């Protein structure tokens, strides 16, 4: 049987714009709670949120921003982020998400590459002085106006004017197929690429992701993942907006104890996170003190989830219906997801099966031929969720999306006989040791069972004899005994094939990560190669990254 599957087609796709869907929810539930900012205690009903969204939309139109204009947002999670997201969608402006971790060089690149006309920015966050960085670069960009959150200019742009309605200022018809969002992918080489997404792309993906965890207006979703990324603004905000569920923002940035306290005090029914977030919460000293009994469900995504972390979500966090989701920014993002009625094995050992209204297949990376089920190959996806393209970069778009509309993910996957899929690594992460193809995830899952290991990442480094050798970065549990390569070898001997046992072990406090919680394995390879003095040795993984 071939590694191909198509998702169910009911319920049908949403065919409206984000603004139309938001307004329909406001009409259904005007007095229900829509948005909570836990850190400040601010709250909005759907009617109140609609009032503030329209006030900003009117302010943007008066500032000359209309359909197709790019509006940048550079800020950590806050209520204003959500308001900006909906307001820009209502007027057809394209929201450009700028990574809060960016610095001046990256900021200038994003502003110039996307052609941002108006930038909405935080003043500062933690050690980042956003205002100083904006003022340093803005003169060399197309930006005409900057609104700092909380400033007098922001207040003026968001004041309600009862004499003017948004409908009076909208002079262009909006289509669900219009581009509405640009998200820069955190590329491992070269400059980031701006994945351009439509109303139809992200509205439907948010809707179906939360549809599969049975969301209704009764749900309250804790969203500690960044809004700048699809996980927060699509699966979180748009998933809630399309169902009338409450969006709960625990803090501007992720803090494990604050998130746990927020879930308990706000009685959240759903919780999102990448595996590193769940690990941090589960290992926090105060974990047992928080009443998480309101939780029912949630989504874990962003990177490979260790099985034991998933089991603790179910057993200790009351998330009996927690879902694993898989995707990428270019596919809005989710392509595969587990279902709430899946057994524990499927919900702990796979990334689920194909999403509604989406097709997936696994192909031989060399030939493009669809491989038999149970065989590893590149995962490809097609359907409404595939991006419009990379902003102003047709060549990169053509490399990623083939003429038949298939998005080539770069991920190595296996489709089981039952249609459920496993990600076995990235094509660029696969280690070739003496002709043996090694998938780091298999070794990571095994080492995670070591009683002293809290988290682990495995990479390939250059080797004169084998081309590549394995190196493991290990984060130990508090109070654990020291661990070295000999200890790992003793633990693995007789349980893993000899060529899968890491030659090198580095004990670390943390892994290099993107702001969305994805491990930067390219950086790990570079650092390990340097630490071990392997520069110029062999023809290892760094040459393929």
Has residue 259 got a pLDDT over 80?
A: yes
CATH number, domain with residue 87? 3.40.50.980
pLDDT at 34: 99
What's the pLDDT tens digit per position in 115-144? 999 999 999 998 889 999 999 999 999 999
Residue 268 lies in a domain: no
pLDDT at 295: 98
pLDDT at 541: 29
Has residue 542 got a pLDDT over 50?
A: no
Has residue 312 got a pLDDT over 60?
A: yes
Residue 336 CB neighbours (<10 A): 28
Residue 126 lies in a domain: yes
Q: Which of 141, 174, 207 is the last residue of a domain?
A: 174
Torsion-angle region of 434 (φ positive above 0: left; ψ -120 to 50: alpha; else: beta) = left
Using 50, 70 and 90 to split pLDDT, how confident is the model at 495? confident
Q: Which of 137, 158, 174 is the last residue of a domain?
A: 174
Residue 451 lies in a domain: yes
Question: E strands, 178-227, where?
Answer: 179-184, 194-198, 220-222
Has residue 77 got a pLDDT over 90?
A: yes
Q: How far apart are CA 374 and CA 3, in angstroms?
A: 8
List, in sequence order, the alpha helices (H) in 13-159. 18-28, 46-62, 79-91, 104-114, 130-137, 152-157
pLDDT at 188: 42
Residue 362 lies in a domain: no
Of 327, 332, 325, 326, residue with least CA distance to 386: 332
DSSP-based three-state secondary structure for 413 = strand
What is the mean predicted confidence (pLDDT) over 282-308? 90
Residue 461 lies in a domain: yes
What is the mean predicted confidence (pLDDT) over 409-416? 94
Q: How far apart are CA 299 and CA 340, in angstroms?
A: 11
Decide if 361 contacts 3 (C-beta within 8 A): yes
Please state, rounded to an integer, the average pLDDT across all residues of the chain. Answer: 92
Domain hosting residue 122, numbered range: 46-174
pTM over 0.75: yes
CATH number, domain with residue 524? 3.30.300.30
Of 416, 409, 401, 400, residue with least CA distance to 380: 409
What is the mean predicted confidence (pLDDT) over 96-121? 93
Residue 85 lies in a domain: yes
Residue 168 lies in a domain: yes
Q: Which of 144, 174, 204 is the last residue of a domain?
A: 174
What is the mean predicted confidence (pLDDT) over 178-198? 84
Tally of structural domains, the chain: 2
Decide if 118 contacts 60 (C-beta within 8 A): yes
DSSP-based three-state secondary structure for 343 = coil
What is the mean predicted confidence (pLDDT) over 190-197? 87
What's the pLDDT tens digit per position in 352-403? 999 999 999 999 988 999 999 999 999 999 999 999 999 999 999 999 999 9
Residue 448 lies in a domain: yes
Query: Which residues have C-beta within 8 Å of that of residue 272, sequence separation ≥ 6?
Result: 221, 222, 223, 224, 225, 231, 232, 235, 236, 298, 299, 300, 301
Has residue 307 got a pLDDT over 90?
A: no
pLDDT at 540: 34
pLDDT at 35: 99
Has residue 543 got a pLDDT over 60?
A: no
Angle 275-282/307-316 helices, nearest 10 degrees?
A: 50
């Amino acid at each position: 049987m071939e590694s191909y599957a198509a998702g169910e087609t009911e319920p049908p796709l949403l065919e409206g714009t984000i603004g139309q869907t938001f307004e329909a929810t406001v009409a259904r539930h005007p007095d229900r709670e829509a948005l909570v900012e836990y850190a400040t205690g601010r709250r909005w009903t759907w009617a109140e949120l609609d009032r503030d969204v329209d006030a900003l939309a009117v302010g943007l139109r008066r500032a000359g921003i209309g359909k197709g204009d790019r509006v940048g947002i550079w800020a950590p999670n806050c209520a204003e982020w959500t308001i900006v997201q909906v307001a820009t969608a209502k007027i057809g402006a394209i929201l450009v998400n700028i990574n809060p971790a960016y610095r001046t060089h990256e900021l200038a690149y994003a502003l110039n590459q996307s052609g941002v006309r108006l930038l909405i920015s935080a003043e500062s966050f933690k050690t980042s002085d956003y205002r100083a960085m904006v003022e340093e670069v803005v003169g060399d960009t197309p930006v005409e106006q900057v609104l700092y959150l909380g400033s007098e200019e922001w207040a003026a742009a968001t004041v309600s004017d009862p004499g003017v309605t948004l409908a009076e200022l909208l002079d262009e018809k909006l289509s669900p197929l219009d581009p509405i969002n640009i998200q820069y992918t955190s590329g491992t080489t070269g400059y980031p690429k701006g994945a351009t997404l439509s109303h139809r792309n992200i509205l439907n993906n948010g809707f179906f992701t939360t549809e599969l965890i049975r969301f209704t207006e009764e749900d309250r979703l804790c969203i500690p993942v960044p809004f700048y990324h699809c996980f927060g603004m699509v699966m979180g905000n748009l998933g809630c907006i399309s169902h009338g569920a409450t969006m709960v923002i625990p803090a501007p940035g992720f803090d494990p104890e604050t998130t746990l306290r927020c879930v308990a005090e706000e009685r959240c029914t759903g919780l999102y996170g990448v595996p590193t977030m769940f690990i941090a919460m589960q290992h926090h000293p105060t974990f047992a003190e928080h009443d998480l009994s309101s939780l029912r469900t949630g989504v874990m995504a962003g990177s490979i989830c260790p099985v034991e972390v998933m089991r603790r979500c179910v057993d200790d966090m009351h998330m009996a219906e927690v879902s694993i989701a898989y995707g990428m920014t270019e596919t809005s993002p989710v392509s595969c997801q587990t279902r709430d009625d899946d057994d524990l094995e499927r919900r702990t050992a796979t990334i689920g099966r194909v999403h509604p209204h989406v097709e997936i297949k696994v192909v031989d990376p060399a030939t493009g031929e669809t491989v038999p089920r149970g065989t590893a190959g590149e995962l490809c996806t097609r359907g409404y969720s595939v991006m419009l393209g990379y902003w102003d970069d047709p060549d990169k778009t053509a490399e990623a999306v083939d003429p038949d509309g298939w998005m080539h993910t770069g991920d190595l996957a296996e489709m089981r006989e039952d249609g459920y899929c496993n990600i076995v690594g990235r094509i660029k992460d696969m280690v070739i040791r003496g002709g043996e193809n090694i998938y780091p995830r298999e070794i990571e899952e095994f080492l995670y069972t070591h009683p002293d290991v809290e988290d682990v990442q495995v990479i390939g480094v250059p080797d004169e004899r084998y081309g590549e050798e394995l190196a493991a970065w290990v984060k130990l549990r508090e109070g654990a005994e020291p661990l070295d390569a000999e200890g790992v070898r003793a633990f693995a001997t007789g349980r893993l094939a000899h060529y899968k046992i890491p030659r090198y072990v580095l004990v670390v406090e943390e892994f290099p990560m993107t702001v969305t919680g994805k491990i930067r394995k390219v950086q790990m390879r570079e650092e390990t190669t340097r630490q071990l003095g392997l520069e110029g040795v062999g023809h290892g993984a760094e040459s393929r990254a």
